[in-house]
């Protein structure tokens, strides 16, 4: 007999766009959602938030520091003043609005909208490896890539269930209509799942492929100047989630030399050539794929925990 | 009766510069120029001096398009003659400095040729940008480059439009040439785009070396796209865009756009059609840097330019 998991309803949801101010699909989607006035008949209460309005105004990733790294316990409890970096002040504001993190008042589910210059397609990112709701949503969206970045405790996730929806490829500062439409549809399907779940639908269990982050790979750099000396190899460029085998080309040096993947284990590359990661020393990330079985699931009912 | 072909005798191009980082987040040119500053072997040619140069180093440092104002719009007569006072925008100061080093613009002391390296988020492939339909040296060079690149294509954009033409960094030289390669996101270096730009420059420098050595280039024609009009996004009263480039137009740079073809898709799903009377050839479709310049794409028309034969003038 397969287990059936019963969980509380997802009564309060937050959708956040513009955590990075130049990732435009989420910004325009949040603006559209904010135009529609709630009339009280919605089955789920949704808070729509522009996470980093100053960065969105300037169309930059961040004004002083990456907002999506300001949600550690330390950052959220640090004293802030007018002279603190804008994003440090903002993360505490968001935590108060949507959380506080890990408290009973926190929204039940937060969906953070992102774009990447990498060819990831539609990708859902969780921060917990036992996140049945995220996994069921992934199944309901018909298997976008499901990324599990457990270690990333600093990301925008002040709530019990946190999903980042990452869609690429899209250049920063550009909105591509197919990317916008995919994001709009992804959010809609997620809301459909939540509504059905809240009204008592039983969702059958099954299997979901989850990619778990193993390591980051930096560009080859000049030992003195730290300037990069190669670009992602044309054979690897745009091949996110295509298995990379030992010996496969990774970088094409400006000198013409090919550098190959020297790891012993074949792994799945993702975030290949993301523009914002040059300054973080990341050319691509590598993940292991595993099948995760998810139980059938339904809500406990309308009782809140 | 046969007539003797006209041959234009032109001055040798002895001083050539390659500019990268006119926009500090367009990575192919920045990477190439920095590489050549470290080791110039690849760009050395007999009979000419080639100087690689980072035009906007502060913007490159911050990986941003510009600090105060777009350097590639800053070379106006007004800016170039502005007095040296405190408080001038960084790029205006820089324009004056570049004009001193590589100009003065319009004078006989100016550099012979400047190649200005750019990337675009638009799907323009390899594009050469000209500012004059009568610069024979440039027309012959572009013809040479296009032939050398076969089977790869290289489009030629001619911006001679009296209102839409702008005062580029390269315009301080006698022969300004823009290289625009895309699609590439800002702040990203794609290997294929990098290598394409590198190859175009190789052919360009080969041409100049051949020309300076006395080779005669026969008359030729060049297919160009001539800039017609700038098309903005539909916007609301607050100036926010209300639609995106339509999926049927997205990535279709250089392809014909006819009356009745989809042009924009509003955020609430409505299609806006192109209403122009004539077929146009759009380019710079959905370039990130042009949202703030009120441009979703540019329209062009096709034209064939003719160039006389050229050879180096005898002393």
Q: Report chain A residues whose CB lies below 8 A from the CB of B184.
A: 171
On whether B66 is known to bind a ligand per the annotation, the reply is: no
Looking at the predicted structure, is the pLDDT value of residue B147 above 50? yes
Whether residue A136 is annotated as binding a ligand: the answer is no
Q: B191 and A172: CB-CB below 8 Å?
A: no
Interface size A-B, in CB pairs within 8 Å, comes to 81
From CA B270, how far away is CA B44, in angstroms rounded?
54
Find the helix packing angle between A132-140 and A177-198, rounded to 10°: 120
Domains of chain A in start order, with CATH, are: 4-206+292-300 (3.40.630.10), 211-289 (2.20.25.160)
B180 is a catalytic site residue: yes
Tokens linked to A274: 């993301």
Q: In angstroms, what is the C-alpha Rg of chain B?
A: 20
> Is B7-224+305-312's fold the same as B231-292's?
no
CATH, range B231-292: 2.20.25.160
- Cα–Cα distance, A114 to A163 (Å, whole number): 11
Pairing of strands A284-294, A268-270: antiparallel
Catalytic residues of A: 166
Cis ω for the linkage preceding B183 (within 30 of 0): yes
pLDDT < 70 regions, chain A = 1-2, 38-41, 101-102, 128-130, 143-160, 301-305
Q: What is the pLDDT of residues B151-196, one digit of tens each?
A: 999 999 999 988 888 899 999 999 999 999 999 999 999 999 999 9
Q: Which of B183, B186, B267 sits opposite A32 (nearest CB)?
A: B267
Q: Which residues of A lie inside 8 Å of B (Cβ-Cβ)?
A: 28, 31-32, 59-60, 117, 169, 171-178, 180, 227-228, 231-234, 237, 252, 254, 273-276, 278-279
Say what the pLDDT of residue A155 is. Answer: 53
- pLDDT, residue B1, reads 37
In chain B, the residue whose alpha carbon lies closest to the alpha carbon of A228 is: B31
Q: Which of B24, B42, B244 to mutate to test the interface with A (most CBs of A within 10 A)?
A: B244
Tell me how crowded residue A102 is: count the other CB atoms within 10 A of its CB: 11
The whole-number pLDDT of residue B278 equals 95
pLDDT digits (tens, 9 = 90+) for B253-304: 999 999 999 999 999 999 999 999 999 999 999 999 999 999 999 999 999 9
Contact A275 B185 (CB under 8 A): yes
The Cα–Cα gap between B42 and B108 comes to 28
Q: What is the largest CA-CA distance in chain A?
A: 65
Three-state DSSP class for residue B128:
strand
Give the ipTM of the model, two decimals please: 0.94
* Overall average pLDDT of the B80-84 stretch: 95
Residue found by looking up tokens 């759009």 in the block: B282
State residue A206's pLDDT score: 87
A172 is in an annotated binding site: no
Please report where in the chains the tokens 């033409």 appear, as a residue.
B165
- From the list B180, B209, B292, B303, the catalytic residue is B180
Residue A140 labeled ligand binder: no
Question: Residue B94's pLDDT band (boundaries 50, 70, 90)?
Answer: very high
Domain extent listing, chain B: 7-224+305-312, 231-292
- With CA atoms as reference, the chain A residue closest to B245 would be A177
Q: Are A138 and B256 in contact (CB under 8 A)?
A: no
What pLDDT score was predicted for residue A162? 84
The 10 Å Cβ neighbour count of residue B25 is: 23
Return the pLDDT at A220.
98
pLDDT one-digit tens code per residue, B214-235: 999 999 999 999 999 999 999 9
Please state, in angstroms and rounded to a whole number, the distance separating the CA atoms of residues A144 and A141.
Answer: 7
Looking at the structure, give the CATH architecture of the domain made up of residues B7-224+305-312.
Answer: 3-Layer(aba) Sandwich (3.40)
| CB pair distance less than 8 Å for A273 and B268 | no
DSSP string, chain A: ---EEEE----EEEEEE-SSTT-HHHHHHHHHHHHSPP-S--SSEEEEEES-HHHHHHTSS-SSS-GGG--SHHHHHS---TTS-HHHHHHHHHHHHH-STTSTTS-SEEEEEEE-SS--EEEEEES-TT-HHHHHHHHHTT--EEEE-TT-TTSS--SSEEEEEEEES--TT---HHHHHHHHHHHHHHHHHHHHHHTTPPBP-EEEEEEEEEEEEPPPB-TTT--B-EEE-TTTTT-TTSPBPTT-EEEEETTSPEEE---SS-BEEESTT-GGGTTTT-SEEEEEEEEEEE-EEEE--S---
CB contact under 8 A, A176 and B291: no
CA dist B129 and B105 (Å) reads: 18
Q: What is the model's pLDDT at position A149?
A: 57
Give the closest-approach CA distance of B18 to chain A in angstroms: 18
Q: Which of B25, B62, B183, B191 to mutate to test the interface with A (most CBs of A within 10 A)?
A: B191
Q: How do residues B99-145 score in pLDDT, each as one tens digit? A: 999 999 999 999 999 999 999 999 999 999 999 999 999 999 999 99
Reported residue count of chain A is 305
Contacts of B245 in chain A (CB under 8 A): 176-177
Mutate to test the interface with B, among A24, A177, A221 (most CBs of B within 10 A): A177
pLDDT at residue number A147: 67
Taking the CA of residue A276 and the nearest CA in chain B, the distance in Å comes to 7
């Amino acid at each position: 007999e397969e287990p059936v998991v019963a969980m509380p309803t997802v009564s309060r949801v937050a959708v956040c766009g513009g955590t990075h101010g130049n990732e435009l699909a989420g910004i325009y989607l949040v603006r559209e959602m904010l135009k529609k006035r709630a009339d009280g008949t919605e089955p789920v209460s949704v808070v729509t938030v522009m996470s980093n309005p100053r960065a969105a105004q300037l169309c930059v990733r961040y004004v002083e520091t990456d907002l999506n790294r300001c949600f550690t316990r330390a950052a959220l409890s640090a004293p802030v003043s007018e002279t603190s970096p804008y994003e440090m002040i903002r993360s505490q504001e968001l935590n108060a609005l949507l959380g506080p993190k890990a408290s009973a008042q926190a929204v039940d589910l937060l969906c953070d909208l992102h774009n990447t210059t990498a060819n990831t397609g539609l990708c859902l990112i969780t921060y917990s490896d036992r996140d049945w709701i995220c996994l069921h949503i992934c199944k309901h969206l018909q298997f976008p890539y499901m990324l599990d970045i457990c270690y990333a405790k600093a990301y925008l996730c002040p709530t019990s269930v946190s999903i980042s929806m990452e869609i690429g490829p899209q250049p920063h500062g550009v909105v591509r209509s197919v990317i916008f439409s995919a994001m709009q549809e992804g959010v809609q399907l997620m809301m459909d799942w939540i509504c059905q779940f809240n009204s008592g639908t039983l969702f059958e269990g099954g299997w979901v492929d989850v990619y778990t982050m193993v390591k980051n790979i930096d560009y080859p750099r000049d030992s003195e100047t730290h300037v990069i000396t190669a670009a992602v190899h044309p054979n690897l460029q745009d091949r996110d989630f295509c298995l990379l085998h030992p010996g496969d080309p990774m970088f094409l040096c400006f000198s013409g030399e090919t550098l190959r993947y020297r790891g012993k284990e074949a792994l799945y590359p993702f975030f290949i050539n993301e523009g914002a990661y040059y300054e973080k020393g990341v050319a691509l990330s590598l993940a292991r794929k595993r099948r995760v079985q998810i139980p059938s699931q339904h809500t406990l009912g309308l009782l809140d925990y | 009766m046969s007539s003797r072909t006209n041959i234009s005798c032109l001055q040798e191009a002895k001083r050539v510069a390659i500019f990268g980082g006119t926009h500090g987040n367009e990575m192919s040119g920045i990477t190439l120029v920095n590489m050549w500053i470290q080791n110039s072997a690849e760009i050395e040619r007999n009979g000419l001096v080639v100087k690689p140069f980072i035009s906007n180093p502060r913007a490159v440092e911050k990986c941003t398009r510009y600090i105060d104002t777009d350097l590639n719009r800053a070379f106006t007569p007004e800016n170039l003659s502005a007095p040296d006072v405190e408080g001038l925008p960084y790029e205006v100061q820089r324009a004056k400095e570049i004009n001193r080093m590589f100009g003065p613009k319009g004078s006989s002391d100016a550099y012979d040729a400047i190649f200005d390296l750019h990337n675009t988020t638009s799907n323009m492939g390899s594009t050469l940008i000209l500012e004059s339909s009568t610069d024979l040296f440039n027309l012959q060079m572009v013809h040479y480059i296009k032939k050398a690149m076969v089977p790869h294509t290289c489009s030629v954009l001619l911006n001679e439009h009296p209102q839409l033409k702008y005062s580029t960094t390269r315009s301080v030289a006698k022969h300004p040439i823009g290289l625009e390669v895309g699609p590439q996101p800002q702040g990203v270096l794609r290997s294929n785009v990098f290598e394409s730009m590198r190859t175009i420059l190789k052919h360009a420098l080969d041409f100049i070396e051949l020309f300076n050595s006395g080779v005669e280039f026969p008359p030729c024609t060049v297919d160009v796209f001539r800039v017609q009009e700038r098309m903005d996004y539909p916007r609301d009263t607050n100036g926010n865009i209300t639609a995106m480039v339509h999926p049927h137009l997205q990535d279709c740079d250089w392809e014909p756009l006819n009356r009745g073809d989809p042009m924009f898709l509003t955020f609430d799903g409505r299609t806006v059609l192109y209403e122009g009377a004539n077929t146009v050839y759009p380019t710079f479709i959905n370039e990130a840097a042009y949202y703030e310049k009120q441009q979703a794409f540019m329209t062009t028309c096709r034209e064939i330019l003719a160039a006389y034969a050229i050879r180096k003038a005898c002393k």
